[in-house]
Amino acid sequence: MDRVAIVEAALDRAIAEAPAVDPHLQSQDPLTDGTRLSVAAALDLFEDQVRSRALDVAARDLKATGEGFYTISSAGHEDMAVVGAVSRPTDPAFLHYRDGALVMARARQVAGTDPVADTLHSFTASRDDPISQGRHKVWGSRELWIPPQTSTIASHPPKAVGTAFAIARARRLGLLDDLPEDAVVVCSFGDASLNHATALSAINAARWAQRVGSPVPIVFVCEDNGIGISVTSPRGWVATTASALPGIAYVRAEGEIDELWDATTSAFDLARMRRAPVFLHLDTVRLWGHAGSDVESAYRSREEIEAAEAKDPVARTARRLLATGAADRDTLAGIVERVRSHVAALTPGAAAAGHLSTVAEIVAPLAPHRPDAIRAEVAGRHLDPEARAAAHPRRLPEDATAPGERTLAVRLNAALRDEFVARPNAVAFGEDIGKKGGVYGVTAGLQETFGTARVFDTLLDETTILGIAQGLGLTGMLPIPEIQYLAYLHNALDQLRGEACSTSFFSSGQFQTPMVVRIAGLAYQKGFGGHFHNDNSIGALRDIPGLALAVPSRGDDAVRMLRAAVAMAAVDGRVVAFLEPIALYHERDLHGPGDGGWLTDHPPAGELALPGEVGVYGPDASDVLLVTYGNGVRMSLRAARHLAEEGIAARVLDLRWLAPLPFDAVREHAADVGRVLVVDECRRTAGGIADAVIADLAESATAPKLASVRAVDTYVPLGPAADVVLLSEEQILTAARDLAGR
C-alpha cells in the first residue's frame, strides 16, 4: 500500500475507532468552552479539509493516467482552512502553493463558486480553468480576491506588503469599491521560504512602514511543516526568528482546531484594528513528500514518515469533533464519502474542454497592446489649465526657452508633472526622489507640488520598491517607481520577471500590475566606474516576457515616450521599464560647445511615441543606415556629420523601444539603404540588441550588408580607462567607412 492510501485509510480508521461521546451540541454552540469556534463552523472546516485532501488524491490519479500535470499537494496543511474561514473574500490573499484548504474555505463564503471543479481544471491545464485558462496550476480567483502567482520561494510577499500599503491610499481615491475600509492582506509561505531574502525584505518593509506611521494591515502566515523539500528547519527556528521582531505582533497557532481558530481570529483582529502587520505562526505537517515525483524515503526514515502521518490534521479534526460531541461517526463518514464521490465524479471530465493550443491564445494576456485605444485615451484627457499652471510653478514647459529648461532631465520632470495633473491615481516613489528630487534632479519639486502622499521616499531596497509598485497597481493606482541605477535593479529583478510581468499572463488578464519603472542607467558618466553607476547591459530586461522597454535619448522623445508608457500602463495594464541615459540628462550640445543641438522644445499635448515608432534622422541618406538607441543616437549623429564631410550619407535610426524591437521599421529602412551598421552601446555578448537586430535582418528576404559595433564584455572601469572599453565615435566612423566601401 502506498503512502497516500495509508493516510487515507488512517483517516477512515480515526472516524471509525476514535473515542467519541454522544452528539449533544447544537450547531451554534461553541465547540468547547471559551472558544469562538461554533459547531457548524467546525463541521464546515472539516468538510473543507476533506475537499482539499480528496483533490490531492485526484491530482496524483490524474498524473498517473497522463491527464494531470501537478502533484505538489496541500496534504498536511489542511489547517489552513481556518485562515480561509476567518479571513474574508475581501481580504486580498497571496498564497503559498499548499493552500488548497484555505481556498476551499474561502470559496464557501462566495455563492456560485465551485472550487473543486476549478481546481481539477487547473490540475489538468484545462482551458476551463477560470483563472489561468490552463497556463499554469495556480491558486487564484477574481471573486475570491486571490491574485495568482507561482511563488515557490516566497517571491510574492513584497507585493502583498505593497497591497497592504496601498489599501488606504487607493480608498481615498475611490478606487477600491470591492474592499471595505478594514480589509487586511493575507500572505502565506512555508518555513523554508521564510529564510529567503525576498520574504525577509517584505517583512522588514512592513515593519519599517509601520514604524514611520504608514498603515500596513497584513497577516503573514508561516506554514511551518519543518522541512523544505529535503532540508529540515532547525527546531524552533521560526519562533525564535519571528517572535522577537519589533513592530510586528507574533501569534502562535498550534493544537486542536478550536485553538487554531481562536489564535487565527486574534491575529486577524489585531491586523484589522491596528492596521498593522501580524505574524501568524501555524504548525503544519507535510505528507507524501514535496511532490508526486519526490522519493521521500531518500532523505526521511520510515519512522519519520510515520511520525508525520500520525499528525494528520484532518484525522485530528475528526477526533476533536467526535470527542466534543459535535458530530457522530456517521456524520463524519458521510461527509468524507460525499466529498470523495463528488471529486471522483468531476475528475474524468476535468480536461474535457481541452488545452490552449495556439500561440495567439496562449500569449493573449501577456502583453496586450491597443495603440488606437492608447491614443484615444491620451487625446481625450483634459489638463485643467489652472491645475497645470499650478503644477509648473515657474512656467509651462512649452514656454521654456532657457537652455537649462530644455534638457532631457527637465523635460522628463515636466512630463511627470503633466501626468500627475491628468491622473490623480499616479504616484511616484523610490530612493531619494522626494526631498532631494532624485540623484539627477529629475523629480525635483514634485513632492513640494503634489504632496508626500503622491511623491514619497522609500527605504533603500529595490525589492520593496517594486513590491509597493505591484500592490499599488493591483489596487487601481498608477505607480511610477524609480530605480536609482540600472545595476540596482538586478537586486530585485525577479519582482519584474517572476511577479509583475506574469500577473496578467497567469490570471488571463483578470489581475494586472500596471507600472512605469523609471531607471537611470547606461554608461558614459565621466569619472564613474564599476558596475553600479555605469552599467551598460540591458540583456536581463529584454529577456522578460511581456515587459516593454523604452530608451529615450532626447528630451522631446522622452516626453512622447513617457506619455505613451504611462498610457500603456493605464489602458492595457502594461509593465514598462523606462530606461533613461544618465549621461544625456543634462547634455546641451551635439556637435560642439554652445551649439545647443541636444536641447529640445516640449512636444504638443497628445503627441506620443509608441512601440514600433522609430526616430529617423537624415531620411534621404542612402549610403549606410546606423541603427542605434540611447547614447548611441548622439554618437551616431556626430559620426554622421563627419561621414557627410567624406561624402558618405548616413541615415540614423533611433529604435526608441528595445522591447518589443521595431523589426518592421528596421527592415523597411534596411531594404531602402542596403547597408546596416548596428551601433550598440551595450556589452557585446547578450548585453544589448545587436544580436537580435542582425539575426532578424540576416533572415529577411532581402538581407542587407551587415556590421555592428559594440562595447567590450566587461565592467566599466574608473576614469579614462572607461574610454578603452566603451563604444566610441571613432569605432562608428571606421565601421561605417568599411561598410560603405570607403
On whether the CB atoms of residues 585 and 485 are closer than 8 A, the answer is no
Pairing of strands 426-430, 278-283: unpaired
Say which DSSP state 495 is in: I
Pairing of strands 615-617, 249-253: unpaired
Whether a cis peptide bond, with omega within 30° of 0, leads into 660 is yes
Question: What is the C-alpha to C-alpha distance for residues 665 and 654, in angstroms, rounded to an integer?
Answer: 10
User: Across-strand partners of 279?
Assistant: 220, 250
Active-site residue among 196, 281, 392, 533?
533
On whether the CB atoms of residues 654 and 576 are closer than 8 A, the answer is no
Identity of the amino acid at 397: P
**508 φ/ψ sector (left φ>0, alpha ψ -120 to 50, else beta):** left
Q: And the C-alpha cell for 557?
A: 522623445
Question: What is the C-alpha to C-alpha distance for residues 219 and 476, in angstroms, rounded to an integer?
Answer: 22
Q: And the C-alpha cell for 230?
A: 529535503
Question: What is the C-alpha to C-alpha distance for residues 452 and 239, in angstroms, rounded to an integer?
Answer: 37
Residue with cell 505591484: 470
Helix, strand, coil shares, percent, the chain, to 5: 45, 15, 40
On whether the CB atoms of residues 494 and 523 are closer than 8 A, the answer is no
Coil vs helix vs strand at 363: helix
Q: Taking Cα atoms as reference points, which of 269, 290, 160, 315 lies closest to residue 225?
A: 290
- Please, which residues have CB within 8 angstroms of residue 724's CB and are 6 or more apart in sequence? 712, 717
Q: Taking Cα atoms as reference points, which of 329, 263, 226, 307 lies closest to residue 86?
A: 263
Active site residue 121: no
CA end-to-end distance (rounded Å), the chain: 81
User: Which residues are part of the catalytic machinery?
Assistant: 533
